[in-house]
């Protein structure tokens, strides 16, 4: 494993001048992931969303490598086409350089509208990496709920109202769904642990065939926390088991981090404005339901990873 010092020497592919909000998780995630490609030639694909809109305002670009955006729901298909072109041209001797391919999509562009295109790309076995920058809502269009939005969250299409306390449904478990495609590599990671992100991104670039990484990528605007606290907040997502770090390599599930003690979900919810209403009297049941969901998923994950089951304290 490279040291931070060594990683800092890798040329940046995502550079300054972009217009992401200060402290946006996307910039951090993208730099960490691309860093793991080391000195390879990389083509980046990108779905419509905050990252694309903020990084390619014509005539500027924040991308120091080849980059393509075509639409919102098709980053999987678009990068498939790029990879197919590479294979074809390479085979015919029309190009000689090697390339790696990575597509970034938000949770909207991945869990929802781009789900079909992603599933197709994974099933076809292209040698690509797909990274979901999960900030748990459609941020670019003004914080609407997605199927990645946690239960109870206040978004502009699941507003916390007098009768309905935010989003009603639990999150879709996309990482597991991607693993169910039986691709060589699927993983979930978080920017609070750069070593974990780096190792997983590197593995994703290295495996032959499709790889999927889901990365929790907070949005200070949509989540409404104190912007500089991003890493602390992501740590809480991991410690509360809300966002477990695991990987599935050739069908083998592996838990990468097990919190030492049981941390209640409130610790993750409390610092965020999108969950504030849950702490008002009368909404205790929502927090309970979120906790139940987190506990059940954690147990199921432990089982899949062959770990001893832990029961939450009563």
Ligand X SMILES: Cc1ncc(C[n+]2csc(CCOP(=O)(O)OP(=O)(O)O)c2C)c(N)n1
Cα 148 to chain centroid distance, Å, stands at: 10
Q: Do residues 99 and 40 touch, judged by C-beta distance below 8 A?
A: yes
Stretch that binds Mg ion, among 58-66, 107-115, 198-206, 291-299 (CB under 5 A): 107-115
Q: Which residues contact 288 (CB under 8 A, 6 or more apart)?
A: none
Q: Which does 182 bind (CB under 5 to 8 A by kind): Mg ion, ligand SF4, other proteins, none?
A: none
Stretch that binds ligand SF4, among 56-64, 113-121, 134-142, 231-239 (CB under 6 A): 134-142
Q: Contacts with other proteins in 278-297 (CB under 8 A)?
A: none
Q: Contacts with other proteins in 89-148 (CB under 8 A)?
A: 89, 91-92, 94-95, 97, 99, 116-117, 119-120, 123-124
Stretch that binds ligand SF4, among 61-69, 81-89, 220-228, 263-271 (CB under 6 A): 220-228
Nearer of residues 139 and 211 to Mg ion, judged by Cβ: 139
Q: Which residues contact 153 (CB under 8 A, 6 or more apart)?
A: 136, 137, 145, 166, 167, 274, 275
User: Contact between 221 and ligand SF4 (CB under 6 A)?
Assistant: yes
Q: Which of 35, 48, 117, 135 binds ligand SF4 (CB under 6 A)?
A: 135
List the one residue out of 263, 256, 254 whose CA is nearest residue 233.
263
Stretch that binds ligand X, among 30-38, 44-52, 196-204, 299-307 (CB under 6 A): 44-52
Tell me how far, at minimum, the Cβ of 82 lies from Mg ion, in Å: 23
Tally Cβ neighbours within 10 Å of residue 11.
11
Q: Which of 29, 35, 80, 272 binds other proteins (CB under 8 A)?
A: 80
List the one residue out of 105, 167, 97 whose CA is nearest residue 131.
105
Q: Which residues contact 285 (CB under 8 A, 6 or more apart)?
A: none
Cα 56 to chain centroid distance, Å, stands at: 21
Query: H-helix or E-strand containing 99?
Result: strand 99-106
> Which parts of this chain interact with other proteins (CB under 8 A)?
41, 43, 45-46, 52-53, 56-59, 61, 63-71, 73-74, 76-89, 91-92, 94-95, 97, 99, 116-117, 119-120, 123-124
């Amino acid at each position: 494993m490279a040291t931070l010092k060594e990683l800092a020497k890798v040329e940046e592919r995502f550079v300054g001048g972009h217009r992401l909000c200060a402290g946006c998780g996307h910039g951090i995630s993208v730099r960490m992931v691309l860093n793991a490609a080391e000195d390879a030639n990389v083509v980046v694909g990108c779905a419509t969303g905050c990252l694309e809109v903020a990084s390619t305002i014509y005539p500027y670009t924040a991308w120091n490598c080849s980059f393509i955006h075509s639409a919102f729901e098709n980053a999987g298909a678009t990068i498939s086409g790029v990879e197919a072109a590479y294979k074809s041209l390479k085979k015919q001797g029309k190009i000689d350089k090697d390339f790696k391919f990575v597509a970034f999509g938000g949770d909207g562009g991945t869990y929802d509208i781009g789900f079909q295109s992603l599933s197709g790309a994974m099933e076809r076995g292209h040698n690509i990496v797909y990274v979901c920058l999960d900030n748990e809502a459609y941020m670019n269009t003004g914080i609407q709920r997605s199927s990645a939005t946690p239960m109870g969250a206040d978004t502009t299409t699941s507003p916390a109202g007098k009768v309905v306390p935010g989003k009603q449904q639990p999150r879709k478990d996309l990482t597991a769904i991607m693993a169910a495609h039986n691709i060589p590599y699927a993983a979930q990671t978080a920017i609070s642990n750069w070593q974990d992100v780096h190792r997983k991104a590197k593995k994703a670039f290295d495996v032959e065939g499709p790889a999927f990484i889901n990365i929790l990528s907070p949005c200070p605007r949509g989540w409404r926390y104190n912007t500089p606290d991003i890493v602390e907040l992501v740590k809480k997502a991991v410690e509360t088991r809300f966002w477990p770090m695991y990987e599935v390599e050739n069908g083998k599930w592996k838990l990468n981090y097990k919190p030492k003690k049981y941390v209640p979900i409130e610790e993750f919810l409390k610092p965020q404005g999108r969950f504030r209403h849950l702490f008002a009297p009368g909404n205790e049941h929502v927090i309970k339901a979120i906790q139940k969901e987190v506990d059940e998923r954690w147990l199921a994950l432990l089982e899949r990873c062959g770990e001893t089951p832990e029961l939450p304290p009563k």
